[in-house]
Structure 1
Amino acid sequence: MDRKEAHRRKEVPCLCSRRWILAYMCFLGMFFLYATRVNMSVAIICMVRSDNVSESFNHTRRTGDNVSWPSQAHPDHQIERDTCARQDTSTSATATTAEFDWDKPTRSRILAMYFYGYIIMQVPGGWLAGRFGGRRVWGISFFLNGLFTILTPVAARTSLALVYVLRFLVGFASGVTFPNVQSMWGRWAPPLERSKLITFSMAGPAMGTIAGFALSGHLCAYGFDNGWGSIFYVFGVGTLAWVVFWFLLTADSPRDSSRISNAELEYIETEIGYKTNVQNKFTPWRAIFTSVPVWAIVVTHVCHNWSNYTLLTGLPTFMKEVLNFDIKQNGSLSAVPYLCAAIVSIVAGQVADCLRSRVGLATATVRKIMVIAAFSTVACFLVGASFVTCEFRHVAVVLLCFAVSGTGITRAGFPVNHVDIAPRHAGVLFGITNTVATVPGMVAPLVAGALTPTKTAEEWQNVFYVCAAFSVLGSIVFTVFAKGEVQPWAREAGDKTAGDHSSTYRVIYSPRIQP
């Protein structure tokens, strides 16, 4: 490298830069997105006194009934089942806090209602972010999200119909999140930092799921307003607090930020290849809907979300019905796999960008490696966990940790691929793919409920078999049809070709932004 080229290298701040502050805020926003999404999965166990209490009690008593168990002829099996039954203390936890007599189909509809609202705002959310900027759209939507979450206990004690309406509205307000984040990263993320920034942001859902499961379980047992009511107040107020900091610390694009350094602004725009404050006035809808790489992402997204939403809505129920954890253990242990997923997500982003910048692998190759590794992990360990009996239930928790970690690897695969192939239109693109991929959120809880009418381990095996089949399908489709370069329809006149290239900038990890 000659002196002239060396002189052109600029020291660009990283850890406290404006793009990383945006990543931290996106992380926290997605944290509250998932906390307010999954809290109902735990809260509903405490809210309902229907067959949860009576059937669980009878189930415990029936462990000594010779008619109940096909394995009754074997005395060892009888002893094992009694041991599991004695470990199940969830009935005492729920009996004192339950207020409602909602049957299992009703509970499934409540869990699914979120996704009916969520799906509506996917494409509009991406379009609004591209047209008016993601900062305003996401901030207003999350204000409504927090408000509707806080109102949920009052609605539940008033009318079941109001619960349906509020869960729909929470999903509706939350639906802009992922399209907004993708749209903003299309303007903020340099290509060779794209995986790191986006996967860090997308570690937020895993951490939000941890809080949603673990904290909800403890609030259910020890919180105010009969326990379960405090779940909605805590996460609703937290969401409103995030909105305040979001408006104070973020900007729609680097050029709109009053606090960004000149070095960072020049670095981002040089690497991305266009002026970031120019809002989209035209969306190539026909080219998007006829693009094979787009449909590869759609199919892969659907396959991923089937397993993801099955776990999000069904894991606490699986922990209770098959593994016989009580409500306090249930919330905490349901959260453990998502801690693994958050860590793996961040590591996967670092590995993906390293494979691109240092090893020199093509973007498409890296994305495919990540998807195959992720989906294989999910399929194998989910099926394995389904065969573990409650006598070895902590082994099942370990296997579930590996399975959910696979969803963390996925973050460096197809989600980043939206920005790879269409950085200007990443918000709309993600809105389209996530619209289709939200269907599993509406269907998967209903399928899981239909496949587990008597709540046996064998029935839950069928639930996880379906997840494994979707994982295999997604791996095949993405491997064959995915692309990694910016598509011709996603470029405009004057755009620099951005893709697999080495940066001429040196990014430094400094606690202070360089002037």
Structure 2
Amino acid sequence: MDISKKPGGLLGFRHVQYSLMIVATVLGYGMRTVLNVAIVAMVDEHPPKDRYYSVYPEWKPKKNLILSSFFWGYVCLQVGAGQLAKKYGTRLFLLGSILIPSVAGVLLPLAGAELGYIGVIICRIVQGLAQGALVPSIHALLSEWAPVSERAKWGGFVYAGQALGNVFAMPITGAIAATKVGWPLVFYLYGGIGLLWSILWLSLGSDSPSKSKRISDTERKWIEASRVNIEEKSDVPTPWKAIFTSPPFLAILLAHCGQNWGFWTLLTEMPSFMREILKYKIDSNSFMSALPYFVMWVLSFFMSPIADQLVERKIVSLRTSRKIFNTIGFVIPGVALLSLNIVDGHNKSAIIAILVIGVGMNAGHFCGFLVNHIDISPNHAGTLAAITNSTASVFSIFAPLAVDLIKHVTGSKEDDKQLWNIVFSIAGGVYLITAVIFIIFASGDIQPWNGNNEISAIKDAKIEEKKRLGILRKISTSMAA
């Protein structure tokens, strides 16, 4: 089948899968983010008197501990989930990564009322445990459903759901938290939407084109034909030693760690920074906190197709494309965060502009390291994503806790601009260092340990050809002598 000719029609069943994955990413990251804004209202020392919700100002010293607790669970099951999803299929694992956090979110206000901040932490740990399967499942599904020609574009669109999740979650949470009903309604809202998505996914979701009963034969054959030249079987053994000694994989791993440190430093702490330094109230606070992520989401729609076109038209190699966009996504945010040191805390416009540029241009990572797992090993993409995501999530735990450590060491308070200069400088430095590592060691080629017999055969043939040429040269030299 000619893989250069796409099936007729604007949309295929693969686009249904892409859409459901986008919504899953939006919901998953939204459920993570709502607490970052809601906790400002939860620990408010001067709440409105006519409210219908509870507040817990005594939790304020535990704020960053509560914010980090999601990742305590998140780091635990990702590699195991990636392996199980690879063996038994990703459909049910993606379902669990949304359904279970939805139920836990609905229960969170009650748990807080009955068990205190420990109840909130328990619910967040459960959410984190379940969402450990989200990224590995998405990666594995993309490797099955997305042809190479669409991988950067749709992979970028799907993972841009991270930013879109923040764009929705922050202002929605801020607006609801400012009402008489207050912050608990946010958790009920996201829980309900998650349950609706779960019903749709059960009805329409599928592990792969070959297992789908709704896809047309033409589209299925086209997707499979586009993948046959680069992939063999997905049930090959996982080459653990080769993976952990592979420089291209380690470059992805370190890039993911750098991204999580910078991303979650900003995401968890920006609402507090907006309140304590820029003095925004919770409704305007949440809107201004969401603005940089809206720009990130918009830019992802430009960057991802450009990345695909550069490769498809052979303007640059796949490896170069990944490095270019990852550099954009890391270096610009790194420089932006460092530049906050020289801006006065009263200059709101300049600070917001810098944050918008820095966070917005971070969209480059969606078509940089974040889809590079699939490039170097389609057969093990889910497992690779699980390894990097679980490792990087450790940095997500420490990012908010580092703020408490810096406060303790320096004696600073959250309304001290110097505290935030240190916090943002560390995040900016991490972005720059990991950007350089990715530039040096990243690859766009399928690695030998992928388990692809065809790739191995091609390499063996090249080796044999070199041997034959060497023998011919020796014979020619002998005859000339």
Q: TM-score, normalised by structure 1?
A: 0.83
Aligned-pair RMSD on alpha carbons?
2.4
Measured in 2, the distance between the counterparts of 1:175 and 1:223 equals 34
Residue 8 to residue 491, structure 1, CA distance change in 2 (3 Å): closer
Of 92, 108, 121, the residue aligned with 1:152 is 108
1:377-421 superposed Cα distances (whole Å, 9 cap, x missing partner): 101222334543353313321211111112211111001100000
Of 430, 434, 437, the residue aligned with 1:474 is 434
Of 72, 91, 111, the residue aligned with 1:135 is 91
Aligned-pair CA distance for 1:353: 0.4
Measured in 2, the distance between the counterparts of 1:248 and 1:433 equals 31
Residue 133 to residue 237, structure 1, CA distance change in 2 (3 Å): same
Contact 1:269–1:276 at 8 Å: present in 2 too? no
State the SS of the aligned residue for 2:193.
Answer: helix
Task: Give the match for residue 35 of structure 1.
Answer: 30
Of 17, 26, 47, the residue aligned with 2:21 is 26
1:471-501 superposed Cα distances (whole Å, 9 cap, x missing partner): 1111111011111011111033357999xxx
Contact 2:232–2:453 at 8 Å: present in 1 too? no
State the SS of the aligned residue for 2:235.
Answer: coil
Of 197, 200, 203, the residue aligned with 1:248 is 203
Task: Give the match for residue 418 of structure 2.
Answer: 458
Residue 94 to residue 34, structure 1, CA distance change in 2 (3 Å): farther
Residues 71-470 of structure 1: pairs in structure 2 closer than 5 A: 99-159=55-115, 160-222=117-179, 224=181, 227-273=182-228, 279-280=234-235, 282-452=237-407, 453-455=412-414, 456-470=416-430
Letter matched to residue 17 of structure 2: L
State the SS of the aligned residue for 2:280.
Answer: coil
1:199-232 superposed Cα distances (whole Å, 9 cap, x missing partner): 00011111111111110000101262xx011111
Aligned-pair CA distance for 1:279: 4.9
* Unmatched runs of 5 consecutive residues or more in structure 1: 54-90, 499-515
Measured in 1, the distance between the counterparts of 2:33 and 2:309 equals 33
State the SS of the aligned residue for 1:294.
Answer: helix
Of 12, 16, 37, the residue aligned with 1:17 is 12
Contact 2:271–2:285 at 8 Å: present in 1 too? yes
Aligned-pair CA distance for 1:343: 1.2
Measured in 2, the distance between the counterparts of 1:255 and 1:232 equals 37
Aligned-pair CA distance for 1:128: 1.8
1:257-294 superposed Cα distances (whole Å, 9 cap, x missing partner): 11222222122112212799965252222211221111
Aligned-pair CA distance for 1:12: 1.8
Contact 1:273–1:497 at 8 Å: present in 2 too? no
Structure showing greater relative contact order (alpha-carbon pairs closer than 8 Å, 6 or more residues apart): 1
Contact 1:348–1:408 at 8 Å: present in 2 too? yes
Measured in 1, the distance between the counterparts of 2:201 and 2:52 equals 39
Contact 1:186–1:419 at 8 Å: present in 2 too? yes
1:330-360 superposed Cα distances (whole Å, 9 cap, x missing partner): 1111111111111112221111101101143
Measured in 1, the distance between the counterparts of 2:426 and 2:450 equals 35
1:19-72 superposed Cα distances (whole Å, 9 cap, x missing partner): 22211111100101111101111111101135xx5xxxxxxxxxxxxxxxxxxx
Q: In the alignment, does 2:40 pair up with 1:45?
A: yes
Contact 1:345–1:411 at 8 Å: present in 2 too? yes
Task: Give the match for residue 462 of structure 2.
Answer: none
Residue 9 to residue 200, structure 1, CA distance change in 2 (3 Å): closer
Residue 8 to residue 161, structure 1, CA distance change in 2 (3 Å): closer
Measured in 2, the distance between the counterparts of 1:403 and 1:14 equals 38
Measured in 2, the distance between the counterparts of 1:487 and 1:8 equals 23
Measured in 2, the distance between the counterparts of 1:461 and 1:93 equals 35
Measured in 2, the distance between the counterparts of 1:353 and 1:425 equals 22
1:433-458 superposed Cα distances (whole Å, 9 cap, x missing partner): 11111111110001123324412111
Contact 1:122–1:175 at 8 Å: present in 2 too? yes
**Larger CA deviation: 239-248 vs 302-311:** 239-248
Q: TM-score, normalised by structure 2?
A: 0.89
Letter matched to residue 236 of structure 1: G
Residue 9 to residue 293, structure 1, CA distance change in 2 (3 Å): closer
Measured in 1, the distance between the counterparts of 2:245 and 2:339 equals 39
Aligned-pair CA distance for 1:327: 0.6
**Larger CA deviation: 386-395 vs 458-467:** 386-395
1:279-313 superposed Cα distances (whole Å, 9 cap, x missing partner): 52522222112211111111111011110010111
Letter matched to residue 402 of structure 1: I
1:179-213 superposed Cα distances (whole Å, 9 cap, x missing partner): 10101111111112110010000111111111111
Measured in 1, the distance between the counterparts of 2:382 and 2:122 equals 27
Measured in 2, the distance between the counterparts of 1:348 and 1:153 equals 39
State the SS of the aligned residue for 1:12.
Answer: coil
Name the % identity. 31
Measured in 1, the distance between the counterparts of 2:269 and 2:345 equals 17
Task: Give the match for residue 467 of structure 2.
Answer: none
Letter matched to residue 374 of structure 1: G
Contact 1:356–1:366 at 8 Å: present in 2 too? yes
Residue 384 to residue 289, structure 1, CA distance change in 2 (3 Å): same
Measured in 1, the distance between the counterparts of 2:8 and 2:424 equals 45
Contact 2:81–2:136 at 8 Å: present in 1 too? yes
Contact 1:46–1:98 at 8 Å: present in 2 too? no
Measured in 1, the distance between the counterparts of 2:62 and 2:159 equals 31
Contact 1:310–1:444 at 8 Å: present in 2 too? yes
Contact 2:3–2:222 at 8 Å: present in 1 too? no
Q: How many residues align?
A: 452
Measured in 2, the distance between the counterparts of 1:97 and 1:318 equals 24
